[in-house]
Amino acid sequence: MGSRCPRFPCYFADVADSAVRYDPFSYEIHEDPYPIYRRLRDESPAYFDEQHGFWALSRYADVHRALHDYETFSSAQGFLLEDIDDFTLPMLLGMDPPDHGRLRATISRALTPRRVAMLEAPIRDRCRALIDGFAARGSADLIGDFAALLPMWVISRLLGVPDGDQDELRRLADVMVHREDGTRGVPPAGKEAAATIYGYFERLLAARATGTGDDLLTLLLTAERAGEISHLEIVGFCFLLIIAGNETTTKLLGNLAVQLAERPAVQARLVTEPERSPNAVEEMLRYDTSTHMMARTLTREVELHGRRMEAGRKVALLLASANRDERRWHEPDLFDLTRDTADHVAFGFGVHFCLGAALARLEARVALEELLARLPDFTVDRAGLVRVHSGNVRGYSVVPIEFRAR
């Protein structure tokens, strides 16, 4: 008999005990999917889930190839395993060329590298102000007091969202992401939250329609008047920023703090060598990215690893598994500050490479630098960790930290 984890026996059985099962909607799998990812790569690299009716690819080469092949692995039917057609709006993640190229080009002109780079000073100031709010206490919830507030503030600054509206938008985003244990599909509360967010941006756009300025929304409204982007596409982009741009960066910061606290030597090295912060962010994106999976839909039959994947089926591209594939990475389960992380797939690849990658990297790097400059000795109370439960985003809703009061 193989050894079993007493807490999660059905997911950590050895090969001899049971066939591998991957259920992205199970709370048990959210705790630690990496043993399952390894078994998928070794035993079932083209995995079909009978209960939910989707395929999953887990090896780096297969995921990388699928991310490039948008004609076969289409985004037009959605980027989640759930069917969200009844309440979603057109957005980049759910488009294929040529519409994808048109919309991406328009948004890219508004979200330029120069505009992102100009955010570094205000992001640093905001980090310092947030840390000032709890530094004297000696303890904090890194998510509620810092990691959830920073990305929402940055996105709100880009979109012109007033400070007083940010907490409610963040709450609605959390409702959207949450899933009940073992349940596939967006719950009624999530759909209501989506509708509320849509309505909010409709009102914000109406109020800004006649304004002028250099902010992101004004630039997009100008593009709408020029016929380059539709009104619904602007609303969809705002929605995507609030949900994906906020949640993924929040979870990345929380995951990074937990991993560093488990590695005091790495944390101490970053305190004395802050120039390695970009390396730490990239290795974190590879080691335990916040976006674990993106879905595609097959437009034709594909034969892979001796299995026929039929047209019309959803395919889960397991980004986090690809980033731990022994076939691509040396000692992938080791967190290594000196690793060459080029070509990790945390931000996707090809035409759908994350448009906000530079912004997420900037936020994470500055946040890490400021946290370690002010709280170099922080530790994490693992007993108080609370995990987010989502089919594709992995991270924490509560990360209790302790440190010497300052």
pLDDT digits (tens, 9 = 90+) for 82-96: 766 555 677 777 778
Give the dihedral sign, CA 129/134/138/143.
negative
Please state the rounded mean pLDDT for residues 179-197. Answer: 75
DSSP per-residue letters across 38-68: HHHHHH-SEEEETTTTEEEE-SHHHHHHHHH
Give the dihedral sign, CA 324/328/332/338.
negative
24 lies in some domain: no
250 lies in some domain: yes
Please state the rounded mean pLDDT for residues 169-179. Answer: 79
16 lies in some domain: no
Give the dihedral sign, CA 237/239/245/248.
negative
For residue 285, what pLDDT is reported? Answer: 97
3-state secondary structure of 198: helix
How many helices (H) and strands (E) the chain has is answered by 17, 12
Could you give the angle at the alpha carbon of 264 between the alpha carbons of 361 and 126, nearest 5°? 35
Structural tokens at position 38: 């390894």
Strand partners, 317: 57, 294
3-state secondary structure of 99: helix
Total of domains in the chain: 1
pLDDT digits (tens, 9 = 90+) for 37-93: 999 999 999 999 998 899 999 999 999 999 999 999 998 888 888 766 555 677 777
Say yes or no to pLDDT of 11 above 60: no
Task: Please state whether the predicted TM-score (pTM) of the whole model is above 0.85.
Answer: yes
Please state the rounded mean pLDDT for residues 101-124. Answer: 87
Could you give the angle at the alpha carbon of 290 between the alpha carbons of 181 and 61, nearest 5°? 105
Say yes or no to pLDDT of 182 above 70: no
Q: CA-to-CA distance for 166 and 245, rounded, in angstroms?
A: 14
Of 394, 361, 310, 404, nearest in space to 46 by CA? 310
Higher pLDDT, 359 or 186: 359
For residue 13, what pLDDT is reported? Answer: 33
Domain of 128, in residue numbers: 45-402
pLDDT digits (tens, 9 = 90+) for 298-317: 999 999 999 999 999 999 99
The CATH number of whichever domain residue 206 belongs to comes to 1.10.630.10
Which residue is associated with the tokens 């984890």?
Answer: 5
Q: How far apart are the first and last CA of the chain?
A: 53
Backbone angles phi, psi at 293, to 5 degrees: -150, 145
311 lies in some domain: yes
Strand partners, 56: 47, 316
pLDDT digits (tens, 9 = 90+) for 117-151: 999 999 999 999 999 999 999 999 999 999 999 99
Higher pLDDT, 156 or 332: 332
18 lies in some domain: no
Please state the rounded mean pLDDT for residues 194-223. Answer: 82
Q: CA-to-CA distance for 321 and 345, rounded, in angstroms?
A: 10
Please state the rounded mean pLDDT for residues 394-403. Answer: 94
For residue 181, what pLDDT is reported? Answer: 61
For residue 17, what pLDDT is reported? Answer: 38
pLDDT digits (tens, 9 = 90+) for 241-300: 887 778 889 999 999 999 999 999 999 999 999 999 999 999 999 999 999 999 999 999
173 lies in some domain: yes
For residue 18, what pLDDT is reported? Answer: 58
For residue 27, what pLDDT is reported? Answer: 84
Say yes or no to pLDDT of 211 above 70: no
Q: CA-to-CA distance for 152 and 133, rounded, in angstroms?
A: 17
Say yes or no to pLDDT of 342 above 70: yes
75 lies in some domain: yes
Averaged pLDDT score across all residues of the chain: 87
330 lies in some domain: yes
Structural tokens at position 288: 């335990």
Say yes or no to pLDDT of 393 above 60: yes
